[in-house]
A and B are shown apart, each in its own frame.
Chain A
Amino acid sequence: MTALTRFQRIRMGLPTSSREARFAQGWRVVQMLAASPAALAGLGIVAALLLLAAFAPVIAPHDPYVQNLANQLRPPSAENLFGTDEFGRDIFSRVIHGTRYTLYIVLLVAVVAAPAGLFIGASSGFLGGWVDTLFMRITDIALAFPRLILALAFVTAFGPGLNNAILAIALTGWPPYVRIARAEALMIRRSDCISAVELMGASRLRIILVHVIPLCMPSLLVRLTLDMAGVILIAAGLGFLGLGAQPPSAEWGVMLASGKEDLLSGWWVGTFPGIAIFLVCMGFNLLGDGLRDVLDPRQES
């Protein structure tokens, strides 16, 4: 046994410290994801999104904002892979730069909605009693609203714009996380490890933050990944209606809106940003499905 290196211990699932145990768990997730081609494809798409966003200026052959009116509405060619729009801008470069907007939206919504839902849900499930009843009623009410319509109404209230759209999407997005975190917390509450830290005199806040919330993370992560597709679709919808990101932003929804105007004179203007939205959503859906099968086998579809 002593002959095993740390790497071997991790790979064989025989950890000797909590740090090694964490690595061993991560390794198991990687192995199971790798066994599913669909999840791997999803991971590939999301990774590609990250890379494209990081290196957008290097990859894009043209400046996404420079207009060239002599070069309006050119069909796809070797010079302009996806053609040009009504201002002669290169659509390929704009689609590449659009990854940055998508990533920005997705990350901000995740950072705002998920932790808020997580904290409310975990506290609600752990504390129980009237706190739980109150939070769950509010969540039920919020869940009963149609999400896109509510986001639309919020954006109207805040005024159109990218950041307001993100805020509106986040405001409509927290209830599912509350539900999930609460369900997990209810189960964790009765476990021996929580009784043990309670006996050691840990405060409630400490138990929730240090012990309950980490245990909610796997199912939350699954939900978050699956949710990202919806977030991207709503953001694109708001951009398309002119309530999200504003022209001339290279945001995919905005580009689709100009594609609507040029529908009959240039099919490529709307087609390629649409394919980009579709691919990224599919990537998040596939990855989320794969993660669910690995991390949360109870919820198998």
Chain B
Amino acid sequence: MTQGTGLVMGILGKVAIIFATFLGLIFVTFMIGRVMPLDPVTAAVGPDVSQELYDRTREQMGLNQPLWIQFFDYVAAVLRLDFGTSFSTRQTVIDDIARVFPATLELALVGVVIGALIGIPLGILAAVKRGTMVDGLIRVILLIGYSAPVFWKGLILLVVFYAILGVAEGPGRMSVFFEGVVPIRTGLLLIDSALAGEWEVFRNAIGHIILPAVSLGYGAAAYVGRMTRSFVLDQLKQEYVSVARVKGLSEWAVIFHHVLPNCAVQLVTTVALTFGLLLEGAVLTETVFAWPGLGQYMTRAMFNADMNAVPGGTSVIGAIFVSLNVVSDILYRMLDPRTRQ
């Protein structure tokens, strides 16, 4: 009985924290939209307009209202899930984001897969060979991954694989002559082109996504690899590992049949959190690769002083980030029996 109420209280507490987090997000993004140094009215209608037009636009934008009414308008816009109208595209911010977000999602997904495929094996190898040359070498490789700026890795990859070797495609999601060939269903170009059976477009899209995804994925691999190493090392200290070894199992059998299943939960949550980091990194990577995603949309909105688009984009990324945290927390609780007590 007491355990039951404790659980309910725990869940209520969690819900309250998540709620407060979102409220904080809304408040911060609202303030950011209001204190922008550029005058949003001038940004919308241009500098040389009559006072009358200026005042009318200002009224349309709701900027003549007291701040607290503006705040309620903003909360209403967030609750309607449209975040108001962008003054540069004249569409609701959510429509804009729905249009550009799949490109970012695709990039981050491919990036996280690359990150996990590189990071997890390297992390395991480093833990098994702890203290040897191999461990040191992997440490250096991973250190390069998170010490080098993601946009610089992108520039280097472009120079080497696009300009010099010519084995990858250049900036953008696909070559110009493929634009519009594939009908948009999911917005993820790789999946859409595969569904439509347009394998030429598919290959072209792979050629375009590989460089930005690798420059993102390398950074993710650094994080995933480091965490994997410490998870595996933690497990290797446990007694069941000694038992398995005494039983005569080979070191690799111990790792794959006993240690890895016990790290699986932690690895899943780590990869989920990494995905959030990649969404962030995508903002910078997109600038380098002219990738038409959320990052480009937001940087453009920032320079245009688009006072609805910037908070909208920030809120969406923030909300995804918070949700990923919550989801990985829940996954952890569901998958790991020890946390249920």
A residues whose Cβ falls under 8 Å from a Cβ of B:
38, 137, 140-142, 144-150, 152-159, 229, 233, 236-237, 240-243, 253, 256, 259-260, 263-264, 267, 270-271, 274, 277-279, 281-282, 285-286, 301
- The answer for the CA separation of A181 and B287 in the assembled complex, in Å, is 37
Partner of B321, one of A137, A140, A145: A145
One digit per residue, 1 when the CB lies within 8 angstroms of any chain A CB and 0 when it does not, for chain B 254-295 equals: 000000000000000000000011011101100110000000
Distance (whole angstroms) from the CB of A196 to the closest CB of chain B: 36
Closest B residue to A279 by beta carbon equals B147
Contacts of B28 in A (CB 8 A): 145, 150, 153
Q: How would you classify the secondary structure of chain B's contact residues: helix, strand, loop or mixed?
A: helix
Whether a CB of chain A sits under 8 angstroms from the CB of B42 is no
Contacts of B321 in A (CB 8 A): 144-146, 149
Which residues 30-63 in B have Cβ within 8 Å of A in the complex? 31-33, 35-38
- The answer for the CA separation of A159 and B303 in the assembled complex, in Å, is 10
B residues whose Cβ falls under 8 Å from a Cβ of A:
17, 20-21, 24-25, 28-29, 31-33, 35-38, 139, 143-144, 146-152, 155-156, 158-159, 163, 226, 229-230, 276-277, 279-281, 283-284, 287-288, 298-299, 302-303, 305, 310-311, 314, 317-318, 321-322, 325
Partner of B152, one of A38, A140, A256, A282: A256
Asked if A278 and B147 sit within 8 Å, CB to CB, the answer is: yes
* Contact flag A274-B143 (CB < 8 Å), given A153-B32, A156-B32, A260-B288: no
Asked if A146 and B276 sit within 8 Å, CB to CB, the answer is: yes
- The answer for the CA separation of A81 and B318 in the assembled complex, in Å, is 43
Other 12 A-B pairs with CB < 8 A, given A263-B155, A264-B163: A141-B20, A146-B317, A153-B32, A157-B35, A159-B38, A237-B151, A256-B151, A256-B155, A260-B151, A260-B155, A277-B148, A285-B146
- The answer for the CA separation of A253 and B283 in the assembled complex, in Å, is 15
Distance (whole angstroms) from the CB of B149 to the closest CB of chain A: 5
- The answer for the CA separation of A156 and B151 in the assembled complex, in Å, is 20
Q: How would you classify the secondary structure of chain A's contact residues: helix, strand, loop or mixed?
A: helix
Tell which of B147, B152, B311 has the most Cβ of chain A within 10 Å.
B152
Partner of A282, one of B36, B143, B156, B322: B143
- The answer for the CA separation of A274 and B147 in the assembled complex, in Å, is 10
Asked if B310 and A263 sit within 8 Å, CB to CB, the answer is: no
* Contact flag A152-B29 (CB < 8 Å), given A141-B21, A146-B318, A285-B147: no
Partner of A263, one of B25, B159, B279, B298: B159
Asked if A281 and B20 sit within 8 Å, CB to CB, the answer is: no
Contacts of B150 in A (CB 8 A): 237
* Contact flag A274-B155 (CB < 8 Å), given A141-B20, A145-B318: yes
Closest B residue to A158 by beta carbon equals B37
Asked if B32 and A154 sit within 8 Å, CB to CB, the answer is: yes
- 10 residue pairs A–B, Cβ–Cβ below 8 Å: A144-B325, A149-B321, A150-B314, A152-B299, A153-B310, A153-B311, A240-B284, A256-B149, A282-B144, A285-B146
Closest A residue to B299 by beta carbon equals A241
Asked if B163 and A263 sit within 8 Å, CB to CB, the answer is: yes
